[in-house]
């Protein structure tokens, strides 16, 4: 059974348009509450669900709607306020709750929002649970009788708890004293958290992108817009820069010269360091988008490597199947299962910093022996439901590109799981051929999408 509302990362869309309306979100909270309550063994007590959100202005409305739906289903609600997505995963486990809910559209603009769920283990809900929630959405709401309603409580120390958790993932024998770090929070959920984590570990921190107004999340700042970070690092003569996305579950970094490092390069630094320490359990999981140079680097180091479908949930599934601990995406979503149950931008940055401090290296040196292949990614907007992948003209354009690349690159086309886009990716040794091939395929897709 295909899912009607849940994409690769929860339910997401434009605020005010179905399904991101207060009416639907209240029903979603009710349906999720009924499913979670029926599956929970709470020894006679009401199940509890934590709600966290990023800094979007629509979060207030959707938080209230979710809260109402959950309480109507007999669920006790714990409100954490603005906290990163991985903080909800951590606090759900720490408080022994039945589930966590995040109100966020991650790296999308403020006009969008979304709802994603975590299990009691701090992991994304399995597909069968999401399907059960969708099935419950087809049933009308039947509010519990008054004696069966849930209650709401605010978690006043949520931010402090999470800061201490992040710090605990960095070795006690190391610190960041003597380092100057620029931290960009994308005007998002880490605005009041990230700077304190690095500062309390000893770094001199310059915070940017830390003044949310409800509408500026991801706007010119953060992991998807790192130019201001690069400028700030050079201007302040910092050792490096860290940019998180709006909900704090992924990052990119910048070295002292303003050079940008993506998720593949940061994952390489962590994997190489762990292997040298004898602490790399098994191999590393990437995705279909992972740069071919990373795969070749893993081969040189003798580290097993596997590719999952794009999306952190699929990286997680493959890690669990293999019994491995380390994986990630080139977008900067890195999973270190020995540190956290989900991807966490702050925790991942600390794992990179661990490698740099332990080896007394700069970021440029630590990642310098990974020579990335040129990779061009073009997002082409298409109408929902349009299958460009199966069209003969698109297949022909892909075949032509593969023939031109002559085995020294690869082509990948995939629909976005969160937006009405077809992502056209081409990579290879020759940058000119890569660019030309990507543009030709994208032009064919555009023509079909508008015809």
Beta bridge partners, 286, equal 307
Rounded CA-CA distance 75/30 in Å is 9
Complete DSSP assignment for 85-148: HHHHHHHHHHTT-SEEEEE--TTS-TTEEEEEEEETTSSBPPHHHHHHHHHHHTSPP-PPPGGG
Closest by alpha carbon to 5, among 30, 23, 25, 22?
25
**Catalytic one among 58, 104, 106, 331?**
106
416 classed as catalytic: no
> Is residue 238 a contact partner of residue 230, using CB atoms and an 8 Å limit?
no
DSSP line for 311-368:
SHHHHHHHHHHHT--EEE-TTS-EEETTT-SS--HHHHHHHHHHHHHHHT--HHHHTT
CA–CA separation, 117 vs 51, rounded Å?
9
Phi, psi (rounded to 5 degrees) for 136: -70, -25
Question: What are the DSSP calls for 239-257, one per residue?
Answer: SEEEEE-TTSS-EEEEETT
Structure token digits, residue 305:
């490597």
Residues belonging to the active site? 106
């Amino acid at each position: 059974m295909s899912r009607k509302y849940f994409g690769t990362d929860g339910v997401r869309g434009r605020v005010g348009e179905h399904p991101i309306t207060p009416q639907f979100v209240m029903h979603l909270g009710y349906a999720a509450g009924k499913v979670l309550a029926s599956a929970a063994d709470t020894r006679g007590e009401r199940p509890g669900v934590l709600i966290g959100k990023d800094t979007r202005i629509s979060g207030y409305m959707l938080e209230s709607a979710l809260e109402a739906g959950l309480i109507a289903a007999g669920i006790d609600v714990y409100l954490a306020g603005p906290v990163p997505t991985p903080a909800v995963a951590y606090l759900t486990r720490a408080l022994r709750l039945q589930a966590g809910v995040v109100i966020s559209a991650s790296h999308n603009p403020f006009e969008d929002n979304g709802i994603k769920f975590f299990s009691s283990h701090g992991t994304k809900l399995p597909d069968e649970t999401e399907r059960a929630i969708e099935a419950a959405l087809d049933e009308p709401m039947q509010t519990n009788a008054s004696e069966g309603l849930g209650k709401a409580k605010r978690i006043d120390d949520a931010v402090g708890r999470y800061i201490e958790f992040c710090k605990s993932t960095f070795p006690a024998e190391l610190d960041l004293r003597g380092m100057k770090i620029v931290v960009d929070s994308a005007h998002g959920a880490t605005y009041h958290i990230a700077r304190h984590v690095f500062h309390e570990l000893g770094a001199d921190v310059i915070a940017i992108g830390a003044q949310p107004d409800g509408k500026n999340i991801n706007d010119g700042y953060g992991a998807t817009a790192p130019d201001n970070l690069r400028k700030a690092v050079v201007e302040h003569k910092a050792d490096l820069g860290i940019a998180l996305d709006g909900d704090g579950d992924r990052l990119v970094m910048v070295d002292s010269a303003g050079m940008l490092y993506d998720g593949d390069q940061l994952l390489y630094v962590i994997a190489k360091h762990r292997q040298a320490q004898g602490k790399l359990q098994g191999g590393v999981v990437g995705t279909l988008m992972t740069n071919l140079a990373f795969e070749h680097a893993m081969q040189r180091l003798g580290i097993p490597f596997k590719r999952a479908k794009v999306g952190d949930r699929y990286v997680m599934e493959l890690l669990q199947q293999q019994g491995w601990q380390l994986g990630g995406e080139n977008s900067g979503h890195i999973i270190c299962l020995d540190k956290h149950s989900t991807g966490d931008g702050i925790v991942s940055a600390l794992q990179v910093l661990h490698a740099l401090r332990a080896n007394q290296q700069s970021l440029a040196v630590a990642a310098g022996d990974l020579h990335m292949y040129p990779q061009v990614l073009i997002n082409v907007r298409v109408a929902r439901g349009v299958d460009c992948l199966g069209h003969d003209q698109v297949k022909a354009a892909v075949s032509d590109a593969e023939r031109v690349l002559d085995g020294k690159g690869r082509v990948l086309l995939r629909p976005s799981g969160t937006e009405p886009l077809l992502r056209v990716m081409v990579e290879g040794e020759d940058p000119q051929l890569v660019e030309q091939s990507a543009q030709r395929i994208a032009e064919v897709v555009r023509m079909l999408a508008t015809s």
